[in-house]
Amino acid sequence: MPAIDVVGLDGDDTLWHNETLFRDTQDRFRDLLAHSTDPERIDGRLLEVERRNLALFGYGVKGFTLSLIETAIDLTGGKVAAADIETILGWGRDMLAHPVELLPGVAEAVDELAERVRLIIVTKGDLWHQETKVARSGLTEVVDGVEIVSEKDELTYRSVLARHGISPDRFLMVGNSLRSDVLPVLAAGGHAAHVPFEITWELEHADADPEADGYHHLGSLGELAPLLDGLAVGD
Amino acid sequence: MPAIDVVGLDGDDTLWHNETLFRDTQDRFRDLLAHSTDPERIDGRLLEVERRNLALFGYGVKGFTLSLIETAIDLTGGKVAAADIETILGWGRDMLAHPVELLPGVAEAVDELAERVRLIIVTKGDLWHQETKVARSGLTEVVDGVEIVSEKDELTYRSVLARHGISPDRFLMVGNSLRSDVLPVLAAGGHAAHVPFEITWELEHADADPEADGYHHLGSLGELAPLLDGLAVGD
């Protein structure tokens, strides 16, 4: 195989914490509604509402906040207090204003990768918020490009690669989501490395296997530079 | 001056209806709260909330919906009924699902322009929703590119032009907002044409003058092709 000379880096839960923030908020939401219904019903209903709203809202905190409010009204039979809605609105603002916290070892791993390859952050979600997060990450100086996309499917990757003049067989995407960072990249003719994060949002779940599907499984982003070195000398 | 060979087209209220939808929703919002407070107080308070949230939310329907809910809670002193919040959530979904309606004469004007120049839609707002609107507009076949940006300032235009390899003095932006489509383009060394729409959102207001600031004022998008023809032969 040809050497990899461009690496795509996923943002949320690959470079920086994201799902943890959503989970923390969801924990608070469960506490807020604890007097009205049981926790499992809350999680299940919220997921249903999020799934139904996804085609209209896309990904991100604003849509999540709207879905929380909708779920709260629904689960309380319209009895939720305006003060509780106000609390939820505050969570949304807090999530948007939250500092970006890089995952352990990421800053060093990205520096090491930047010495070997061109780096492009390919991140999905709300344009305004993702731009803020990229800026706050402190990584803009090290990477060669940033692509904020609304969805990560095969077509998205094909157009990102075409726009940057990158041959798919020289491109490797690394990220925590099999559904968004691995499978569509393989479908587009590229390479992929999966670095699982401790928690995965239900709507990002996918089944795949490194051997059968042909991608790399890594324990951390720090393992990618050695992998690229190994690939460069042939395997 | 050199001939213009690329024209940037603004989306909302230049190619298709947008502000009308926001105004219609705001009218309904005023009716919903009519029993609690007077209309002027509602408009003023909503604008304050929107202005304060802008740095966190950016532009678009989801942030607008969150601001409506916040304003309703605030203006009713926390007494707004959950059913009313549910109504507001429904308006948000309706706005996102709303068909894209091209402004009168736009389809013909764009076809005519496409025969003369390269066309790029440069539209601001929510990535997911703007992509949907561009797709629904039916204009993707006619234009050469689509740029969805989070803010339209001088830096944005400079980077869009650089990305497409366009020399600013051969670029003309057309749109309804002096603040977003005209002044920052002039600052970036490009040309601009202003086609006012009947209503302008308060946060888009700007003062400018065609003579003093050096841009073109048009009555409709249909006047742009003749203008370009005039510029091409020298003026």
Same domain, A113 and A44: no
Among candidates A62, A69, A70 on the partner chain, residue whose Cβ is nearest the Cβ of B57: A62
Nearest CA to B133 out of B7, B8, B6, B14 is that of B14
Phi, psi of A201 (to 5 degrees): -60, 140
Query: How many CB atoms are closer than 10 A to CB B32?
Result: 19
Q: Which residues of B touch A135 (CB under 8 A)?
A: none
CATH number for the domain harbouring residue B68: 1.10.150.240
> Residue A198 pLDDT more than 90?
no
Contacts of A57 in chain B (CB under 8 A): 62, 96, 128
Do both B116 and B40 map to the same domain?
A: no
Q: Give the tokens for residue A187.
A: 């479908």
Q: CA separation (Å) from B160 to A119, A154, B8, B90, B128?
A: 20, 24, 10, 35, 19
Mean pLDDT rounded to a whole number for chain B: 94
Residue A1 lies in a domain: no
pLDDT of residue A116: 95
How near does any CA of chain B get to the CA of A131, in Å? 8
Q: Are residues A32 and A133 in the same domain?
A: no
Whether residues B127 and A131 touch (CB distance < 8 A) is answered with: no
Mutate to test the interface with B, among A126, A134, A136 (most CBs of B within 10 A): A126
Report the number of secondary-structure helices (H) and strands (E) in chain A. Answer: 10, 6
- Note whether residue B128 is domain-resident: yes
A97 with B56: Cβ contact below 8 A:
yes
Query: Are residue A136 and residue A225 in the same domain, yes or no?
Result: yes
Interface with B, mutate which of A57, A86, A134 (most B CBs under 10 A): A57
Alpha-helix residue ranges (DSSP H) falling in chain B: 19-32, 39-57, 61-75, 82-97, 106-114, 127-137, 154-163, 183-187, 210-213, 224-232
Answer with the one of B46, B78, B97 that is the final residue of a domain.
Answer: B97
Order of strands across the sheet with B118-124? B145-149, B118-124, B6-9, B171-175, B191-194, B216-217
pLDDT at B203: 82
A143 and A164 in one domain?
yes
Beta bridge partner(s), residue B146? B121
The residue among B97, B115, B149 that closes a domain is: B97
Give the number of domains in chain A.
2
Task: State the best of B73, B86, B120, B128 to mutate against chain A, taking most chain A CBs within 10 Å.
Answer: B128
Last residue of a domain, one of A80, A97, A114: A97
Residue A74 lies in a domain: yes
**Contact present, A53 and A67 (Cβ < 8 Å):** yes
Residues B11 and B29 in one domain: no
**Are B119 and B225 within one domain?**
yes
For the question of an ipTM over 0.95, the answer is no
Q: Are residues B134 and B202 in the same domain?
A: yes
- What CATH number corresponds to the domain at position A151? 3.40.50.1000
Q: What is the CA radius of gyration of chain A?
A: 19
In this prediction, residue B54 has a pLDDT band, given cuts at 50, 70 and 90, of very high
Residue B234: pLDDT band with limits 50, 70, 90: low
Cβ <8 Å between A126 and B65: no
Provide the whole-model pTM: 0.93
- The number of C-beta contacts closer than 8 angstroms across A and B is 88
Cα separations (Å) of A13 from A23, A61, B3, B32, B171?
12, 15, 48, 41, 40
pLDDT digits (tens, 9 = 90+) for A132-187: 999 999 999 999 999 999 999 999 999 999 999 999 999 999 999 999 999 999 99
Please report which confidence band the pLDDT of residue A205 belongs to, taking 50, 70 and 90 as the band edges: confident
Q: Position B158: which residue type?
A: R
> What residues make up the domain containing B133?
6-16+101-232
Quick check: A96 and B63 CB within 8 A?
A: no
CB-closest option in B66, B73, B148 to A62: B66
